[in-house]
């Protein structure tokens, strides 16, 4: 497992992407400005589609759906209709909503489905990471359908929201160097599955930068969804093709599983940090609880006086993270299947007790860090986008197929890449998953259950109650660290949204007991001081997730930011 973690860290280090140009570069200290509306996503074409939807009278929810569908075409490694996620909405009237469209385990899945007769995890095909059995029942289309019907503007038709993505799939778009290279980088597994090999690898001839990349099967699927609605994905021809391909390849998802999928409205999770209200996702996302718990621990310290990314601040942050991620492993899961003590975990008094014993000059070993005494009742390759409309409605949306290109399986005839989200369950409770995360018995595999997630779409308010900024990230469990450190950077260190997102960051997740760090983010002197405290740094630095966000200044100007670690564009007007 340690070998896999080191390989993953090395991948993060070597994986670099180019920013798709706008007049203002995303890596600049100044965010992109828009007087009325803004979309910040991982691809310029998708962001422009979202902005166009709002120009035509749609609201932020309508635009977010259009962006998500477009990313399924132009950002296939993470954008999807074959995965799932979470949408956080705050309307201009102050009401907030959380849509859970996380994938669900097929009915046939059970606790030991990914272990062999010797109790060891199954690797490769047949396991929880690659191939047909790795996929949970997709929730993206159901989530978008719920959002459109309950929270859309009512001024724009479903067909008009789907059409831009359909046209992109049919007519194609020009491949960037990044995407062309990334497709080749994943050829080993994509080549194993006929439709993935044909669509993404050009049957072994491979696409090059500048090629026109078309996806006619995905275009046809989107055309059916455009005409018949999102239900077509779950009960129509698309559903039948997915189920048939699953059956032919020993997969788990059946037509009944697809028909029974339900997206859910959940109550947003709310907390505060230094007087600022924070609205974020509840379980089955762990991100909101972990973030609020760590912020509650930090609130008792003068973080600003410590200095940004000083050894004192990073040591405190690491110790708080260590404790919160230990609680994550023990207590968090799908609330429909387990009693998650959300109120206690996010209670400020509990956080104060949890950080008791903190030594400003000494690390507390993870081997000695147990979950807190509570009473009461992720892929690297997620993608996040944020939308703010002229009326002030905000959408912070994170969705995923888990690993890059998910399970690597494209369902025959559909053009739909399927997720490998079953690995976000505890395939073997107490043992590390793809990201090295330890997960407990509460997150065991059960049919109809949603796996625990690290996705952390978040909205932060000013002290006067007006919306300030929204942010989210991609990057497995590192999502939580990226979002949280962005919040800290804005509130404690008074950065603008672009500076806060671009600033160097670290990540600690309890186990493995080491700090993930960025190559140019922490000075050698700071690392040496922290090492003297007893911290261990991962031997290979790499990017700590990738975030996107939008800030609203006091004059109402929308300020869009794309992480310089990744690609994308903020588009406003």
* Rounded distance between C-alpha atoms, residue 535 and residue 319, angstroms: 10
Instruction: Give the residue carrying structure tokens 């759906």.
Output: 65
* Rounded distance between C-alpha atoms, residue 415 and residue 66, angstroms: 18
What is the structure's pLDDT at 117?
87
Out of 238, 346, 382, 400, the active site residue is 382
Give the residue from 77, 62, 97, 168 showing the smallest Cα distance to 382: 77
Transcribe 413-444 into DSSP letters: TT-PBPP-GGGGSBSSTTSB-TTS-B--GGGB
Q: What is the largest CA-CA distance in the chain?
A: 63
Q: Name the burial class of residue 530, with classes exposed (0-12), middle (13-18) and buried (19+) by CB atoms within 10 angstroms of its CB.
A: buried
What is the structure's pLDDT at 295?
98
Dihedral of alpha carbons 430, 344, 547, 261, sign: positive
Write out the two tokens for 385.
């986008």
pTM of the predicted protein model: 0.92
What is the structure's pLDDT at 435?
63
C-beta contacts of 483-488 below 8 A and 24+ residues apart = 483/287, 483/291, 483/456, 483/458, 483/547, 484/291, 484/294, 484/295, 484/456, 485/317, 486/547, 486/549, 487/273, 487/278, 487/291, 487/295, 487/458, 487/460, 488/295, 488/298, 488/303, 488/317
Q: What's the half-sphere exposure (Cβ side, CA atoms, 13 Å) at 222?
A: 30
Q: Which residues pair with 456 in a beta bridge?
A: none
Sheet with 269-273, edge to edge strand ranges = 32-34, 558-562, 546-552, 467-474, 458-461, 276-280, 269-273
8 A C-beta contact, residue 402 and residue 156: no
* Rounded distance between C-alpha atoms, residue 306 and residue 515, angstroms: 19
Domains of the chain: 44-265+394-424 (no CATH), 267-379+456-562 (1.10.246.130)
8 A C-beta contact, residue 458 and residue 470: yes
What is the structure's pLDDT at 434?
60
What is the structure's pLDDT at 438?
66
8 A C-beta contact, residue 361 and residue 320: no
8 A C-beta contact, residue 84 and residue 102: yes
What is the structure's pLDDT at 123?
86
Residue 382 is among the residues annotated as catalytic for this protein? yes
What is the structure's pLDDT at 140?
98
Q: What's the half-sphere exposure (Cβ side, CA atoms, 13 Å) at 88?
A: 28
What is the structure's pLDDT at 5?
39
What is the structure's pLDDT at 56?
98
CA angle 536, 542, 547 (to 5 degrees): 115
What is the structure's pLDDT at 365?
94
Write down the H helix ranges in 414-561. Answer: 478-491, 497-502, 524-533
8 A C-beta contact, residue 77 and residue 61: no
* Rounded distance between C-alpha atoms, residue 138 and residue 233, angstroms: 9
Write out the two tokens for 495.
């950065």
Instruction: Give the residue carrying structure tokens 């989530």.
Output: 143
What is the structure's pLDDT at 433?
67
Tens digit of each residue's pLDDT, the chain (573 residues): 444 433 433 433 333 332 232 333 334 469 999 999 999 999 999 999 999 999 999 999 999 999 999 999 999 999 999 999 999 999 999 999 999 999 999 999 998 899 898 888 898 889 999 999 999 999 999 999 999 999 999 999 999 999 999 999 999 999 999 999 999 999 999 999 999 999 999 999 999 999 999 999 999 999 999 999 999 999 999 999 999 999 999 999 999 999 999 999 999 999 999 999 999 999 999 999 999 999 999 999 999 999 999 999 999 999 999 999 999 999 999 999 999 999 999 999 999 999 999 999 999 999 888 787 654 334 557 999 999 999 999 999 999 999 999 999 999 999 999 999 999 998 777 666 666 666 678 899 999 999 999 999 999 999 999 999 999 999 999 999 999 999 999 999 999 999 999 999 999 999 999 999 999 899 999 999 999 999 999 999 999 999 999 999 999 999 999 999 999 999 999
Q: Is 119 left (phi over 0), alpha (psi -120 to 50) or beta?
A: left
8 A C-beta contact, residue 477 and residue 404: no
What is the structure's pLDDT at 13?
37
Give the burial string for 92-118 (b: 16+ CB within 10 Å, else e).
eeeebbbbbbbbbbbbebeeebbbeee
């Amino acid at each position: 497992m340690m070998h896999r973690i080191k390989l993953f860290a090395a991948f993060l280090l070597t994986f670099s992407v180019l920013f798709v140009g706008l007049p203002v570069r995303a890596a600049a200290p100044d965010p992109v400005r828009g007087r009325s509306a803004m979309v910040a996503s991982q691809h310029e074409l998708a962001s422009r589609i979202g902005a166009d939807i709002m120009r035509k009278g749609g609201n932020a929810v309508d635009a977010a759906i259009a962006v998500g569908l477009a990313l399924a075409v132009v950002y296939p490694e993470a954008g999807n209709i074959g995965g799932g996620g979470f949408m956080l909405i705050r309307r201009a009237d102050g009401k907030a909503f959380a849509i859970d469209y996380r994938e669900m385990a097929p009915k046939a899945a059970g606790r030991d489905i990914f272990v062999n007769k010797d109790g060891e995890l199954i690797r490769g095909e047949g396991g929880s990471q690659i191939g047909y059995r790795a996929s949970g029942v997709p929730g993206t289309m159901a989530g978008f359908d719920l959002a459109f019907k309950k929270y859309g503007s009512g001024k724009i038709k479903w067909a008009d929201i789907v059409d831009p993505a359909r046209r992109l799939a049919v007519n194609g778009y020009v491949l960037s160097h990044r995407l062309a290279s990334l497709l080749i980088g994943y050829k080993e597994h994509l080549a194993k599955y006929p439709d993935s090999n044909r669509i993404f690898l050009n049957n072994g001839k491979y696409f090059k930068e500048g090629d026109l990349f078309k996806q006619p099967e995905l275009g046809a699927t989107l055309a059916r969804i455009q005409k018949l609605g999102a239900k077509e994905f779950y009960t129509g021809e698309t559903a039948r093709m997915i189920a048939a391909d699953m059956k032919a390849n020993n997969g788990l998802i059946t037509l009944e599983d697809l028909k029974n999928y339900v997206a859910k409205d959940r109550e947003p999770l709310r907390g505060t940090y230094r007087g600022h209200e924070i609205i974020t996702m509840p379980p089955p996302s762990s991100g909101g609880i972990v973030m609020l718990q760590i912020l509650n621990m930090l609130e008792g310290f003068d973080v600003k006086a410590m200095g940004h990314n000083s050894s004192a601040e990073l040591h405190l942050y690491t110790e708080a993270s260590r404790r919160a991620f230990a609680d994550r492993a023990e207590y968090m899961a799908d609330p429909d299947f387990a009693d998650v003590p959300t109120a206690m975990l996010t209670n400020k008094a509990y956080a104060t007790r949890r950080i008791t014993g903190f030594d400003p000059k000494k690390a507390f070993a993870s081997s000695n860090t147990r979950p807190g005494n509570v009473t009461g009742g992720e892929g690297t390759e997620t993608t996040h986008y944020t939308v703010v409309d002229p009326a002030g409605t905000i959408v912070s949306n994170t969705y995923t197929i888990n690993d890059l290109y998910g399970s690597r399986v494209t369902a025959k005839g559909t053009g739909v890449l399927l997720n490998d989200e079953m690995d976000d369950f505890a395939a073997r409770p107490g043992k590390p998953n793809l990201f090295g995360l330890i997960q407990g018995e509460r997150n065991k595999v059960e049919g109809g259950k949603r796996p625990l997630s690290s996705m952390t779409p978040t909205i932060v308010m000013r002290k006067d109650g007006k919306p300030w900024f929204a942010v989210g990230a991609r990057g497995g469990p590192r999502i939580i660290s990226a979002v949280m450190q962005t919040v800290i950077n804005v509130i404690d260190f008074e950065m603008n949204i672009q500076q806060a997102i671009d600033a160097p960051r670290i990540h600690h997740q309890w186990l493995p007991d080491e700090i993930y760090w960025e190559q140019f983010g922490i000075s050698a002197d700071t690392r040496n001081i922290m090492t003297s405290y007893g911290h261990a740094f991962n031997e290979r630095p790499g990017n700590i997730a990738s975030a996107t966000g939008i800030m609203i200044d006091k004059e109402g100007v929308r300020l869009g930011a794309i992480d310089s670690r990744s690609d994308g564009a903020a588009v406003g007007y």
